[in-house]
Structure 1
Amino acid sequence: MKMKLFLLGCALGVGTVTPGFAATTTGTINATLVLTTGCLVNGQSATTGVNFGTLDFGSSAGTFDTLNATLVGSLGNGIFVRCTTGQTYNVQLTSSNEAPATVYGAVTAQPRYLVLGSDATQGIAYTLYGSTAYTTPIANNANLVNTGTTDPVNGDNYPVYGRVSGGGFNAAIPAGTYTDTINVAVNY
């Protein structure tokens, strides 16, 4: 009896008819993506507020002669730029301080000024360079030359070095904290 019920169940399963579809509607979906050229600057896609690091001359007695500094940021030394293939760009630096009334140190052809926080009439002249040879100063608003190596992840490297020279071991240089803000523009 069990066998007859099994065979009957199998026969009913084979004999059932599935309902057919009356119509089919077809069409398409359009998928789009627009990619523009662009750059990652110091690993960031932001266009404002990028932290490029610090050019720190350290702490020294006012009786110095020459002080050097290297721009150090989150990705290492210098500024890194990686753009989409074919995208042209330039990197420019400008300092915010004008020459104060009293300037200590050698004023080069492209001077910048660290100004004493407690007395804005006092300053230390310094110069930015693209290499540790300290031979070619970086002018305000001039395009930096890529003198570093290209990093496969972060792109072209633009090292920046600072030098204060001609302090002459001058005991009259006021002690305190001297600052300047260097503005960076990557134009693309």
Structure 2
Amino acid sequence: MSLRLRLTCAGLLLVALGFGLGHPDRAAAQSTITGTIGVTLTLTSACSISGTLLAQGSSTNFGTLDFGSQTTLFTQHDAQVVSGSSSGISLTCSPGISPELMITGGSNDASKSGGHLHALAFGTSNVPYDLYSDSSHSTVIQNNTAVAFATSSTTYTTNLYGRVFGSGTASALPAGTYTDTLNVTLSF
């Protein structure tokens, strides 16, 4: 390549570089523009029992009422609902929520007897029992009636007590494991 051609190419290259760095349109491309980004979070009301989040429409275990082991000739025995590792039912709810808990019935309620609301069943044999809101067993919890909560900020607690009624020596019950499932509704 001739010297003249090489100088011409080098000159054009310098002009191109100079044009790109100092060109007015190039300076406009370096302008600063500010703006915003919208950020949102929607929180919905919720409750949890023993650390388990209760989602709308879900199902959970509210505890156990265990009358233990008795002889077939027992007359009555008391127990308390245990939820998680503590007695009673304890809920933590979002601020501003007033939860409502109801026992809506048991699986064997049709087999109840003696004016009691619920029954434990073993085959065709049944043992009646009731739930109470007090440890003295004087206030029976009726089906579909709200159970009262004690409140402390966003924590709601209630104790549920049970009393099972045996026949004593009048009519011994067959030995076996008697069970029932209570249906519970929590609204918030």
TM-score (norm 1): 0.74
In 2 relative to 1, CA 71–135 (structure 1 residues): closer, same or farther, beyond 3 Å?
same
Instruction: Tell whether the 8 Å contact from 1:64 to 1:170 is kept in structure 2 after alignment.
Output: no
Q: Secondary structure at the match of 2:146?
A: coil
Mapping 1:56-95, distance limit 5 Å? 56-93=66-103, 94-95=105-106
Instruction: Tell whether the 8 Å contact from 1:99 to 1:123 is kept in structure 2 after alignment.
Output: no
Which residue of 139, 142, 147 corresponds with 1:139? 142
Which residue of 30, 37, 54 corresponds with 1:46? 54
Following superposition, the deviation at residue 129 of structure 1 comes to 0.6
Instruction: Tell whether the 8 Å contact from 2:102 to 2:184 is kept in structure 1 after alignment.
Output: yes
The amino acid across from 2:31 in the alignment is: A
Q: Distance in 1 between matches of 2:186 and 2:161?
A: 18
For these two proteins, the number of residue pairs brought into alignment is: 159
Instruction: Tell whether the 8 Å contact from 1:114 to 1:179 is kept in structure 2 after alignment.
Output: yes
Instruction: Tell whether the 8 Å contact from 1:128 to 1:160 is kept in structure 2 after alignment.
Output: yes
Q: Which runs of 5+ in 2 are unaligned?
A: 1-26
Pairing 1:130–2:130 present: no
Following superposition, the deviation at residue 149 of structure 1 comes to 6.5
Q: Distance in 1 between matches of 2:73 and 2:171?
A: 5
Instruction: Indicate the percent of aligned positions where both proteins have the same amino acid.
Output: 36
Instruction: Tell whether the 8 Å contact from 1:114 to 1:178 is kept in structure 2 after alignment.
Output: yes
The amino acid across from 1:129 in the alignment is: Y
Mapping 1:1-40, distance limit 5 Å? 22-40=30-48
Which structure's CA Rg is the greater one?
2
Instruction: Tell whether the 8 Å contact from 2:127 to 2:166 is kept in structure 1 after alignment.
Output: no
Pairwise CA RMSD of aligned residues?
A: 2.4
Q: Distance in 2 between matches of 1:183 and 1:42?
A: 18
Q: Distance in 1 between matches of 2:85 and 2:54?
A: 15
Pairing 1:112–2:102 present: no
Q: Distance in 1 between matches of 2:127 and 2:133?
A: 20
